[in-house]
Amino acid sequence: MGNVNVYSERTVGGYVRSVSNQFKVILVTGMRQVGKTTCLRNIAEGGRRYITLDDPKILSLAKSEPELFFERFAPPLLIDEIQYAPELFPYIKMLADNAGENGLFWLSGSQRYSMMKNVTESLAGRAAIIDMLGFSIYERGGKGGLQKPFLPSGSPNSLLGPKSSLDTFKIIWQGSYPQIAVNGGNDWNLFYSSYVKSYIERDVRNIINIGDEMAFHRFIGVIAARTAQSLNMSDIAQNSNITVKTAEKWLSILQASGIVYLLKPYFSNVSKRFTKHLKLYFTDTGLCAYLTEWTSPETLSAGAMSGAFFETFVITEILKSYLHNGLTPNLYYYRDSNKVEIDLLISENGLLYPIEIKKTANPKKEDIKAFNTLAAIAEIGHGSLVCLVKEKIPITDSVNAISVWEI
């Protein structure tokens, strides 16, 4: 797949530096190829040694002689692909407990599904766990250090400048993996075909014996075709030709690996009218486009799934703005029994901030009429209609239409 030689500042880098002064252990998790190791190596202070467990000799030492491993490689350490050697976790715990200083171990791993059990058992209270996704639009634009958690307000950010609809869909189609983002989409098909193959061969096979590899390929494609839709496991299982139980297990792996994000419905104890279905989003729109066979930004922009891809892009960009600043956002969607829907709610400090997402350059007040429904159940903050406008447009006193490049 080639090497990425150019480093673009990641938002999460500043947060890692900060929490490294407060915790003995930092664990950065995320999908393969999102840039975890590159980020950590570029922000590491002098004297921190880098070790990768992708090296068979080092992995053998770590698994068979963990005590000797740490005699040879003393902290401060950056250990990559830590999930391959769970034998190291008890020793990391002992070393952390016996040391006075913080920031001893920086760990990265791409198999959260199997790794978190070891973290929970050995490093509870000792490790800061940070989830990382692909490049955000800020990081892509060289402004990763300036990105803040998004919250609708009267003054949205304008650090990136306006972009056309096709420019936006070029980014959506391209995806957010650093190699693709840096290389401008070169070898797009080769990258994603190799990614899917290596993901199945390395990560999934290390977690479970999937048995029918073609069925898993088919399942991922079915999931991708349902991005920005309510989760219906029976429908997914039927179209994948697998059982519901198998579909649920495979989905949990995709979720734990960071491939998909499940958005919860907003639920108020005041009423039981609200849907309990989750909504599914692919966290990388390029991978989703590859799996659903959109071969160019132009065809994707004009295609039947363009609205779903635009919504997926906005949701994941907002998610990145929180995760890369070390925060777990309170994100929901709204749908009631009257089929009133709001794409996204951000809950913060007792307020609900409503966000509608629409692939349009001509926003109308009608697009946000569902916001009025919230007044009966919660205190409402400022709202946003995220769309394809090139500059902020006030729709009401409390709602602006903004570009995705301003979130």
Structural tokens at position 78: 């950056």
∠ at Cα 261 (255, 266), nearest 5°? 125
Q: What is the mean pLDDT of the chain?
A: 89
Q: Which fold has domain 11-132?
A: Rossmann fold (3.40.50)
d(CA 136, CA 321) in angstroms, rounded, equals: 8
Q: 355 and 371 in contact (C-beta within 8 Å)?
A: no
**If you average pLDDT over residues 159-177, what whole number do you get?**
87
Residue 120 burial class via C-beta count within 10 angstroms: exposed 0-12, middle 13-18, buried 19 and up:
exposed
Residue 390 to residues 161, 308, 361, 393: CA-CA distances in angstroms? Answer: 8, 20, 8, 9
If you search the block for the tokens 């003393």, which residue do you land on? 74
Sorting pLDDT into bands at 50, 70 and 90, what band is 3?
A: very low
Alpha helices (H) along 127-212: 137-140, 165-174, 178-183, 188-198, 205-207
Residue 32 to residues 132, 223, 259: CA-CA distances in angstroms? Answer: 10, 19, 10
Structural tokens at position 92: 């990391």
DSSP for 56-85, please give it.
HHHHHHHHH-HHHHHHHSPSSEEEESGGG-
d(CA 293, CA 221) in angstroms, rounded, equals: 9
CA-based nearest residue to 170, from 318, 292, 323, 300:
300
Q: What is the pLDDT of residues 51-105, one digit of tens each?
A: 999 999 999 999 999 999 999 999 999 999 998 899 999 999 999 999 889 999 9
| Whole-number pLDDT of residue 359 | 96
User: Which of residues 123 and 276 earns the better pLDDT score?
Assistant: 123
Query: Model-level pTM?
Result: 0.92
- Asked whether residue 186 carries a pLDDT value surpassing 90, the answer given is no
Sorting pLDDT into bands at 50, 70 and 90, what band is 4?
A: very low
Structural tokens at position 148: 């803040």
Could you state, in order of their start, the residue ranges of all structural domains in the chain?
A: 11-132, 137-406
d(CA 162, CA 311) in angstroms, rounded, equals: 18
In 159-253, at which residue ranges do the beta strands (DSSP E only) sit? 229-230
Q: What is the pLDDT of residues 305-331, one digit of tens each?
A: 999 999 999 999 999 999 999 999 999
- Asked whether residue 196 carries a pLDDT value surpassing 60, the answer given is yes
- Asked whether residue 298 carries a pLDDT value surpassing 70, the answer given is yes
| Whole-number pLDDT of residue 53 | 94
- Asked whether residue 262 carries a pLDDT value surpassing 90, the answer given is yes
Main-chain dihedrals φ then ψ at residue 290, nearest 5 degrees: -65, -45
Structural tokens at position 101: 């200083």
